[in-house]
Amino acid sequence: MTEAMPPVPVPVASRVLAQSGLTRVRGWIGLPAGVVLVLIVGSILSDKFLSVSNLTNVLISMSIVGLIVVGMTFVFISRGLADLSVPATVGLGGILVLGLQPSLGSLVAGIVGVLAAAVAGFINGGLIGWARVNPVIATLAVGTIVLGVAQAFVGGVIVYGTDTATQDFINSRILGGVPVIVLIFLSVAALGHILLSRTTIGRYTYAVGSNPAASEASAVPVKFTRAFAFLLTGALGGFAGVILGLSLQTARPTLGIGYEFDAITAVVVGGVSLLGGVGSIPRAMSGLLFVQLLTNIMVLQGVPSPVQGIAKGAMIAGAVALDVYLRRRGGTQ
Amino acid sequence: MIEVALALRMEKIGKAFPGVQALSEVDLEVGQGEVHAIVGENGAGKSTLMKILAGVYQPDAGSIHLNGVEVVLQSPLEAKRQGIRMVYQELNLVPDLSVSENIALGRIPKKRGLVDRARMDADARGVLSELQTKIVPSMIVGDLTVSQQQLVEIAKAYASEPKIIVLDEPTSSLSEHETQALFRVIRRMSSAGVSVIYISHRLREVIDIADTVTVIRDGRRIDTQSIDGVTVEKMISLMVGRQLDEVFPKKKVPIGDTILEVKNVSVPGRCEDVSFTVRAGEIVGLAGLVGAGRTEVAQAIFGLRRYSRGQVIVGGVSTHITRPRKGIKAGIAYVPEDRKTEGIIPSESIRNNISLAVLPSLQRAGFIERRKEKELAQQKAHELGVSPPLIERLANTLSGGNQQKVVLAKWLAAKPTVLILDEPTRGVDVGAKADIHTIIGELAAQGVGILMISSELPEILAVSDRIYVLHEGRVTEEIARSDASEERVMRAATGGGLS
């Protein structure tokens, strides 16, 4: 039926209002309201919470996963489900930068690390975009292979780095106390936001996620757009691994485990739709901030980590359920 | 007539949604075995009324009587229990199951706790033959044509021994021929005492099949009449509340040189050796039954589908178009058949929808030039009369007709020399239909060559300068406007054109 509701002219307006109301509600999930709420709750529970040093620590701790969130947002919006090869690309980046450091120096080794991870992302993209393999399966398989390669490269043990100068720089604070690592994260997030909101590939990402068939018929390069999201996530995973490796000067193949889950949690809680077509980098970032602040409160309150895990899991399930519910109510399905 | 038992009486039904009165004092009386058509523009309130009957919505006012007994249909389940069945436009079948499984779904016969397959098949066969269809119960539903699936859907409703069946736009995806098969089924059901409520935009069919017609406009019942003596023009004037002189306005336009030449194009299994030409300013109709290969030919020309043999010559240049991007470059635009699945990007704004196909020309170094994009969207939305003309509004908040205008706007933004329209007015209301025909006429006047696919014969006949008819993947006839008649097109479409 083409008429969802009744007659002109009043109904058109009211129908639109009802919808944008729902859209607005959705925009608020994990967004300012949630963040402000967490800030209030946190400050009531602990007087340490609102201190500059605590909040700076929260920012530092979200910087590495924040890099991955940028890529994962593209994956979600393009209806690519999720990239589960993140632990492998992070591990690859960390191992390569430290393993190649003695011969190439940190900068070149880092570039190699990012490129190698980008290749893994490219393979993901090829399998998903052109061979139409399910993204979950493709990224799991590629991730397993990449991790195997990384392990073979270092023989399964820890790699140690010796570049303390770079390590100190990454862990330092500049511009009157801003941690370098946070600066890196914020720059990448800003670039990601511009890429998604202002460029053609960004627009294609939304179109492909919202309606692949219509995109195809409108000459949108659907396969390339899908693949691009995974290429980007692979490269950013590698970059996260490189930064992590340089800041720790140690890396093992398991370096990246858990980052995929944290990134997915942030994106989902931020209200970026798993069903594609809806979301933005700022939204994903507020989701990340929300989760990190909540985790911080739990840590300050001495909540045991198993309970923290349960809370995070519940948040994912709840956010996805809410997204699906709102979509149905909004009639966008 | 008065003594005929009333299967359904809806009395003074009222329903309000926040900010709008959807229905006011609507009466509907349907006799047993009657085929009762409900017509009205989109948004008139037909769907709301039917959703009340289906138990989806609760009325604010009025009462519902079934066989003289007042009932309260507080849920879809209750409505089903009372013998009311809906067959919606979107089919609700499980494509991977067989016909008999689909028909039995929800009340599968069991023997000792296990599925009684023999009885299930026998039941299905009984229903299908009672409805005089030739569908085999063991076939997988996904392998059937859309029209056969529709008949299965109706058989499924009929098998549950309903008192009232509501058919919502049942013929929108059917060809004339298949429509006749559906009508036979409807007549069978009606003579078995089942009341059929028939909702359609196709007024000519309403005259063919209905006993009675009720016209709804702006949430009110305007009139209920016996179908004898009702004309299409009469119904339209009741629906829109004004006299429409011409349903399909046709503009006289000078016709130029050949702009599209399709030579011996073949898509394996879909069409064979298709050749035709379109000239600048000309509207060429492509008629044929559903499945005749019309859409496939159009998609092949545009690059959405590979063709194995043949040539496409646009503006004198032979091009092998393998991708839509190449089609656009060659000057072709294709407005697809199904705007929901292939036309609109629902969660994007009108602006983003309009610019989608021409983004490469609106970008500098990968960045979208937003001012240019905005101007383009505003201009095109204005030209096509998209309502409301707010380009930041999301496409999924628009009515069907306006969504179709947005899709048209997207393709006009590509400045095509050849515009292919696949069922451009399917499922849009009478007003929007006239708008779209006017737009098509204006484009032709600007020298665009237009190829229009339509399953509605009156539309093809009224709009086209020339008509090609496809039958089973081949062009069977080319008919000039002056020689065209419904009979002649139908004959060619069913394979009887060439003698």
User: Is residue B251 domain-resident?
Assistant: no
pLDDT score, position A25: 52
Better-scored residue on pLDDT, A259 or B203? A259
Token pair in block for residue A185: 């994260």
User: Is residue A10 domain-resident?
Assistant: no
Q: Does the pLDDT at position A22 exceed 80?
A: no
pLDDT score, position A128: 93
Q: Does the pLDDT at position A16 exceed 70?
A: no
Q: pTM of the predicted model, to two decimals? A: 0.76
Within this chain, do residues B312 and B224 fall inside the same structural domain, yes or no? no
Judged by CB atoms closer than 8 Å, whether chains meet at B344 and A215 is answered as: no
How does pLDDT run across A96-112, given as a tens digit for each residue? 999 898 889 889 999 99
Tell me the mean pLDDT in the region B38-42: 79
* A332: contact with B, CB 8 A cutoff: yes
Q: Does the pLDDT at position A329 exceed 90?
A: no
Nearest 10 degrees: Cα torsion B488, B492, B496, B499: 80
User: Is residue A308 domain-resident?
Assistant: yes
How does pLDDT run across B312-327, given as a tens digit for each residue? 999 888 888 889 999 9
DSSP string, B462-480: HH-SEEEEEETTEEEEEEE
User: Is residue A25 domain-resident?
Assistant: no
How does pLDDT run across B212-224, given as a tens digit for each residue? 999 998 888 999 9
Within this chain, do residues B237 and B118 fall inside the same structural domain, yes or no? yes
Tell me the mean pLDDT in the region A275-300: 89
User: Is residue B453 domain-resident?
Assistant: yes
Within this chain, do residues B236 and B262 fall inside the same structural domain, yes or no? no
Within this chain, do residues B227 and B273 fall inside the same structural domain, yes or no? no
pLDDT score, position A7: 33
* A175: contact with B, CB 8 A cutoff: no
Q: Does the pLDDT at position A179 exceed 90?
A: yes
Q: Please list, residue by residue across B72-93, b when 16 or more beta carbons sit within 10 angstroms of its beta carbon and e when fewer do.
A: ebeeeeebbebbbbbbbeeeeb
Tell me the mean pLDDT in the region A199-210: 95
Within this chain, do residues B230 and B265 fall inside the same structural domain, yes or no? no
* A246: contact with B, CB 8 A cutoff: no
pLDDT score, position B4: 54
How does pLDDT run across A128-177, given as a tens digit for each residue? 989 889 999 999 999 999 988 888 877 767 888 888 888 889 888 888 88
Tell me the mean pLDDT in the region A273-294: 89
* B47: contact with A, CB 8 A cutoff: yes
User: Is residue B1 domain-resident?
Assistant: no
Nearest Cβ partner of B168 from A1, A211, A221? A1
Judged by CB atoms closer than 8 Å, whether chains meet at A20 and B397 is answered as: yes
Find the range with the poorest average confidence among A97-111, B142-156, B170-184: B170-184
pLDDT score, position B464: 93
Tell me the mean pLDDT in the region B134-160: 85
Better-scored residue on pLDDT, A88 or B248? A88
Tell me the mean pLDDT in the region B41-61: 85
* B397: contact with A, CB 8 A cutoff: yes
Q: How confident is the model at residue A12 (pLDDT cuts 50, 70, 90)?
A: very low
Judged by CB atoms closer than 8 Å, whether chains meet at A5 and B48 is answered as: yes
* B416: contact with A, CB 8 A cutoff: no
Judged by CB atoms closer than 8 Å, whether chains meet at B348 and A207 is answered as: yes
Q: Does the pLDDT at position A333 exceed 50?
A: no
Domain end, chosen from B242, B270, B301, is at B242
B338–chain A nearest CA distance, Å: 9
A5–chain B nearest CA distance, Å: 6
Report helix, strand or coil for A36: helix
Judged by CB atoms closer than 8 Å, whether chains meet at B22 and A215 is answered as: no
Domain end, chosen from B242, B268, B299, is at B242
Tell me the mean pLDDT in the region B395-403: 83
pLDDT score, position B18: 64
**Candidate ranges A327-331, B214-218, B425-429; pick with highest mean pLDDT:** B214-218
Helix (H) or strand (E) run with residue A159 in it: strand A159-160
Residues in chain B: 499
Within this chain, do residues B230 and B272 fall inside the same structural domain, yes or no? no
Helix-helix angle A180-198:A200-210, to 10 degrees? 70
Within this chain, do residues B216 and B86 fall inside the same structural domain, yes or no? yes
Residues of chain B contacting A330 with CB distance shorter than 8 Å? 396
Rounded CA-CA distance A226/A234 in Å is 13
Nearest Cβ partner of B46 from A3, A17, A201? A3
Residues of chain A contacting B47 with CB distance shorter than 8 Å? 1-4
* A207: contact with B, CB 8 A cutoff: yes
Chain A residue with minimum CA distance to B304: A217
Q: Please list, residue by residue across A130-143, b when 16 or more beta carbons sit within 10 angstroms of its beta carbon and e when fewer do.
A: eeebebeebbebbb
pLDDT score, position A330: 52
User: Is residue B23 domain-resident?
Assistant: yes
* B325: contact with A, CB 8 A cutoff: yes
Find the range with the poorest average confidence among A59-63, B99-103, B493-497: B493-497
Judged by CB atoms closer than 8 Å, whether chains meet at B342 and A213 is answered as: yes
pLDDT score, position B341: 82
User: Is residue B317 domain-resident?
Assistant: yes
Residue A267, domain extent: 47-327
Q: How confident is the model at residue B248 (pLDDT cuts 50, 70, 90)?
A: low
Residues of chain A contacting B410 with CB distance shorter than 8 Å? 218
How does pLDDT run across B91-141, given as a tens digit for each residue? 788 888 889 988 888 778 888 888 888 888 888 888 888 877 788 888 888
CATH number at residue A165: 1.10.3470
Q: Between residues 260 and 319 of chain A, which touch chain B (CB distance below 8 Å)?
A: 277-278
Q: Where are the alpha helices (DSSP H) in B87-145?
A: 99-104, 117-130
Within this chain, do residues B221 and B329 fall inside the same structural domain, yes or no? no
User: Is residue A16 domain-resident?
Assistant: no
Residues of chain A contacting B168 with CB distance shorter than 8 Å? 1
The CA-atom distances, in angstroms, between B235 and each of B197, B223, B243 are 17, 9, 10
Tokens 């240049």 belong to which residue? B317
Within this chain, do residues B216 and B284 fall inside the same structural domain, yes or no? no
* A197: contact with B, CB 8 A cutoff: no
Within this chain, do residues B202 and B291 fall inside the same structural domain, yes or no? no
Chain A residue with minimum CA distance to B305: A217
Residues of chain A contacting B327 with CB distance shorter than 8 Å? 219
Token pair in block for residue B427: 């499922």
User: Is residue A191 domain-resident?
Assistant: yes
The total number of structural domains that make up chain A: 1
CATH number at residue B475: 3.40.50.300
Residue B124, domain extent: 6-242
Judged by CB atoms closer than 8 Å, whether chains meet at A201 and B21 is answered as: no
Within this chain, do residues B202 and B335 fall inside the same structural domain, yes or no? no
Residues of chain A contacting B15 with CB distance shorter than 8 Å? 6
Rounded CA-CA distance A281/A197 in Å is 9
Report helix, strand or coil for B167: strand
Judged by CB atoms closer than 8 Å, whether chains meet at A203 and B18 is answered as: no
How high is the mean pLDDT of chain B?
Answer: 86
Residues of chain A contacting B370 with CB distance shorter than 8 Å? 198
* A21: contact with B, CB 8 A cutoff: no
pLDDT score, position A5: 37
Calculate what percentage of chain B has a pLDDT beyond 90: 40
Residues of chain B contacting A207 with CB distance shorter than 8 Å? 345, 348, 352, 356
Tell me the mean pLDDT in the region A83-96: 94
Cβ pairs A/B, distance under 8 A:
152
Better-scored residue on pLDDT, B14 or B456? B14
Q: Does the pLDDT at position B263 exceed 50?
A: yes
pLDDT score, position A3: 38
Rounded CA-CA distance A90/A113 in Å is 9
DSSP string, B364-427: ETTEE-HHHHHHHHHHHHHHTT-SS--TTSBGGGS-HHHHHHHHHHHHHTT--SEEEEESTTTT
Within this chain, do residues B326 and B397 fall inside the same structural domain, yes or no? yes
pLDDT score, position A49: 86
pLDDT score, position B247: 54
How does pLDDT run across B334-382, given as a tens digit for each residue? 999 877 788 899 989 999 999 999 999 999 989 999 999 999 999 999 9
A78–chain B nearest CA distance, Å: 12
* A23: contact with B, CB 8 A cutoff: yes
User: Is residue B247 domain-resident?
Assistant: no
How does pLDDT run across A208-253, given as a tens digit for each residue? 999 999 999 999 999 999 999 999 999 999 999 999 999 999 998 8
Rounded CA-CA distance B101/B272 in Å is 36
Nearest Cβ partner of B342 from A8, A13, A217? A217
Judged by CB atoms closer than 8 Å, whether chains meet at A6 and B400 is answered as: no
Q: Between residues 83 and 142 of chain B, which touch chain A (CB distance below 8 Å)?
A: 88-89
Nearest Cβ partner of A278 from B46, B344, B347? B347
Judged by CB atoms closer than 8 Å, whether chains meet at B363 and A219 is answered as: no
A141–chain B nearest CA distance, Å: 29
Tell me the mean pLDDT in the region B85-89: 82
User: Is residue A94 domain-resident?
Assistant: yes
pLDDT score, position B459: 85
Find the range with the poorest average confidence among A30-44, B279-293, B476-490: A30-44
pLDDT score, position B88: 79
Q: Does the pLDDT at position A205 exceed 60?
A: yes
The total number of structural domains that make up chain B: 2
